[in-house]
Structure 1
Amino acid sequence: MQQRVGGLRATSPGWASFDIRPVVDDRVTWGRISHGTVRGVATVEWARTGDQWDVGLQVPAGATARLVLPGGHSRQFGGGSHTFLTDLYRSR
């Protein structure tokens, strides 16, 4: 569930960096997952309506997260709380 639906996956030891790749499946339109790491809690909440994604992230201090959406759309985030809205063609 954490990796498939929530999309959280460590990419380096101790969760110093991790990817967020939410599931792309018409049967699943939202997800929310938290994971306790040695750096703090990593959280992702996402909702999808058509091609639009609304994503909220909590990245632990000292870590980096890479949000990856369909079509190769990606963005890097440092520690803190972040929100991201995209329609896969442009971000706001």
Structure 2
Amino acid sequence: MGSTTMWERWDSMLPDGTINPGEMTSFNHYALGSVAAFMHGVIGGLTPLSPGWKKIRIQPQPGGTVTSANTRHVSPYGEISCRWEIREDKLHVAVAVPPNSTAQVVLPGLTEEIGSGTKEYVVDYEQDKRWPPQPFKHPFMMPQEDTFVA
């Protein structure tokens, strides 16, 4: 195996940025796809409701320190997009639905079915009160009484 480590043999990208020439090289890992699916479906808010994206749900879910996003998907019917931004306790959303498609737009205080075209929304937005999360204090981190066994 020469001077390569086990990690280098099984990973696709080598520490110097080159691609591993071995047989196990693949960028088609679920770990990479799951991050992209989360970003498109949750942060960007685009998910299919029927095969081929003929019917779409547009439901961006802002949270934490993410205050804007812009995502798009090229479906068999054309480009679907959702761009959103939080400004002064308002959620500003712009959507595009391709021809011969429909979308269910779900925003705080609003659910609407729309056809093809573009549409903009401005709705009230209230930051999640659970943010920022409080640190978890494990029982072993709590102050303990100092006792000695004689």
Q: TM exceeds 0.5?
A: yes
Q: Higher RCO, 1 or 2 (CA under 8 Å, sep at least 6)?
A: 1
Gaps of 5+ in 1: none
Unaligned runs of 5+ in 2: 1-38, 126-150
Distance in 2 (alpha carbons) for counterparts of 1:13 and 1:51: 35
Residues 41-56 of structure 1 mapped to structure 2, 5 A cutoff: 41-49=79-87, 51-56=89-94
Q: Which structure has the highest strand share of the two?
A: 1
Which of 64, 78, 84 matches 2:115? Answer: 78
Q: Following the alignment from structure 1 to structure 2, what is the Cα–Cα distance between the partners of residues 8 and 51?
A: 23
TM-score (norm 2): 0.54
Instruction: Using structure 1 for the length normalisation, give the TM-score.
Output: 0.84
Q: Give how far 1:50 is off.
A: 5.2
What is the total number of aligned residue pairs between the two structures? Answer: 87
1:26 corresponds, among 64, 76, 79, to: 64
Q: Secondary structure, in 3 states, of the residue corresponding to 2:65?
A: coil
Q: Which moved more, 1:42-51 or 1:9-18?
A: 42-51
Q: Percent identity?
A: 32
Q: Hey, what's the Cα distance between the residues in 2 that align with 1:47 and 1:75?
A: 19
Which one has the largest radius of gyration? 2
**Which is richer in helix?**
2
Q: What RMSD over aligned residues (CA atoms) do the two structures have, in Å?
A: 1.5
